[in-house]
Structure 1
Amino acid sequence: MLKPIAAAVAVLVVSLTVFVATRPDTFHIERSAVVHGTPADTFAHINDFQRWQQWSPYEKVDPNMARTYEGPVSGKGAMYSWKGNSDIGSGRMTIEDSRPGELVSIKLEFFTPFAATNQARFQLAPEGAHTRVTWSMAGPNTLLGKAMSAFGLMDAFVGKQLETGLKNLDATVNPVAQTQSALAGTPSPMPVP
């Protein structure tokens, strides 16, 4: 009785391993939202790492995180390193391409709790009087990443963080609209902590 069960479990494990191994070698996750500000104002909040504390969802993971800024204050060559608790780990971001009102492209390096190098991009486009921001993250898929992607977990987890960041960016770029929404009784797009 145990042999057929063990054989079935072995077949299931091998099948699952083969399925995961055949997943793509790269991943790409993106989210898009309208930010109620001009492309120039929105770009200024993305292109300067020191402003990220105002809106990035990753800044809230460890309030005691150590931050270091190097290079220019903003734009190409600006670098931001962090070292935090086990939930946020350590890493570095470097702006590789910066086009005012259009694009910020970032090399994203993770050192701990795992090593990885990914690419983050913010593409901006005018949408009426506002700005459509598309935030994407892409990079090589590790075996763990393939397993998470196979079941939609990677897109759900990272995608939720990108969505939160875009909502926070909107609230930061246009705090007047947020205040007016609150006064009018309209729910604010800013998540309540």
Structure 2
Amino acid sequence: MKALKVIGVILGILILIGLILYLSGPDKYYMERSIVINASPAVVYDELNSYENFNKWSPWFTKDPNTKYTYEGPKTGVGTKMTWTSDHKEVGTGSMWIVENEENKMVNSRMAFGGYPGEPNARFVLEDAENGATKVTWTYEEELHGIAPAFAVFFDLESMLGPDYEKGLSDLKTYIESKPAPATDIAVAVVDVEPITYIGLEASADASNSDAISSTMATLYGQLMQAAQTSNLQMSGAPLAVYKSFDEDNMEIICGLPVQKGTTIDHESITIGETLGGKAVKATHKGNYDNLPFTHEKVNEYIKANNLQIVGYPYEVYITDPEQVSDTSQWVTEVYYPLGGGE
């Protein structure tokens, strides 16, 4: 009987300790870290509203570069999801998906980790800072339920996760600030152009996925080069790309190699095309292809400001061969928008 009383007392003490821990424990986890990035909120938001470049600055990627990643849903915005699998104890298995966003202001992701019952949120909050910079605040937020508050007493979120957040933000800052900025002094003018005859291959691509666009274009140009060699065709100028349609979700593009007018080719997929001659709005883009959308924006602003009318399809001419010039800052691309009715 005495032993039973001792056991009962011990159990009572343990229950009391558990109750005290439960009552004194937090009802949620919360942590945040901030940094100022010398880039606009729009630039930062575009990086955080997708997982496409997440591992270029993620503090966990370097812990196990052999981690396997899979992606689901759209490329950007709510619904895009990334899942990972790793044998590294600090990486493990899990997934994260964007559940909420506000353009240029906030991106919120929910997370799930293998063997862990909770689903915490990782939120990025963007605020304007001085000189066009952006203050980025990265938070960890999790509501605690059941007996979780009791265990939370022994969990130091600040020391366990804080250093990873700090490294991640530092690497995000380095990554964004090291990307080549679009030129702001792009010259746009109306010029006279000659039509360009070309052999071309057409394809569709996800307009939001730059890697998919690059891969598609590389494949098309490779096929064109091979066909030109087989048919003994000589290029008469620099390669070009004709944009039949382009929106946020999809693009239809024709990759072309210029040839002499009157050229024919016997191929089931390759066609002969020709750009429009006459008046066109021209802009010369210098630098990485990633910033070409900015140059197109400048051209469209010029067209709107001068009440010009576009006819036909816009096209780009790639003056510089990337295989010959490795310095992307020296790459030159000419952008043309054919016009109707003169200036």
TM range (shorter): 0.7 to 0.9
Answer whether contact 2:79 2:97 (CA < 8 A) is retained. Answer: yes
Structure 1 unmatched ranges of 5 or more: 1-9, 178-193
Match of 2:170 among 149, 152, 167: 167
Q: Hey, what does 1:40 align to over in structure 2?
A: 42
Q: Hey, what does 1:61 align to over in structure 2?
A: 63
Structure with max Cα Rg:
2
Answer whether contact 2:18 2:150 (CA < 8 A) is retained. Answer: no
Deviations 1:69-116 (A, max 9, x none): 111111111111111114111111111112221110111111x24332
Q: Hey, what does 1:49 align to over in structure 2?
A: 51
Q: Hey, what does 1:20 align to over in structure 2?
A: 21
Structure-2 separation of matches of 1:78 and 1:167? 24
Shift of 1:151: 5.6
Structure-2 separation of matches of 1:58 and 1:16? 36
Answer whether contact 2:64 2:88 (CA < 8 A) is retained. Answer: no
Q: Which amino acid aligns with 2:21?
A: V
Q: Which amino acid aligns with 1:167?
A: S
Match of 2:137 among 134, 139, 149: 134
Answer whether contact 1:145 1:154 (CA < 8 A) is retained. Answer: no
Structure-2 separation of matches of 1:17 and 1:122? 35
Q: Which amino acid aligns with 1:93?
A: M
Q: Hey, what does 1:74 align to over in structure 2?
A: 76
Structure-1 separation of matches of 2:58 and 2:149? 23
Aligned length: 167
Q: Which amino acid aligns with 1:51?
A: N
Structure-2 separation of matches of 1:160 and 1:146? 24
Structure number having the greater helix percentage: 1
Structure-2 separation of matches of 1:116 and 1:60? 25
Q: Hey, what does 1:90 align to over in structure 2?
A: 93
SS at match of 1:158: helix
Structure 2 unmatched ranges of 5 or more: 1-9, 181-343
Residue range with higher mean Cα deviation, 167-176 or 127-136: 167-176
SS at match of 2:99: strand
Residue range with higher mean Cα deviation, 10-19 or 51-60: 10-19
Deviations 1:35-70 (A, max 9, x none): 121111111221110211111112222211110111
SS at match of 1:101: coil
Q: Percent of aligned pairs with the same residue?
A: 26
Answer whether contact 1:43 1:102 (CA < 8 A) is retained. Answer: yes
Structure 1 length-normalised TM? 0.75
Q: Which amino acid aligns with 1:50?
A: E
Shift of 1:30: 1.0
SS at match of 1:123: strand
Structure-2 separation of matches of 1:17 and 1:60? 39
SS at match of 2:77: coil
Q: RMSD in angstroms over aligned alpha carbons? A: 2.5
Q: Hey, what does 1:155 align to over in structure 2?
A: 158
Q: Hey, what does 2:105 align to over in structure 1?
A: 102
Greater RCO, 1 or 2 (C-alpha within 8 Å, sep 6+):
1
Answer whether contact 2:50 2:75 (CA < 8 A) is retained. Answer: yes
Residues 146/27 of structure 1: CA separation in 2 closer, same or farther (3 Å cut): farther
Q: Hey, what does 1:6 align to over in structure 2?
A: none
Residues 18/135 of structure 1: CA separation in 2 closer, same or farther (3 Å cut): same
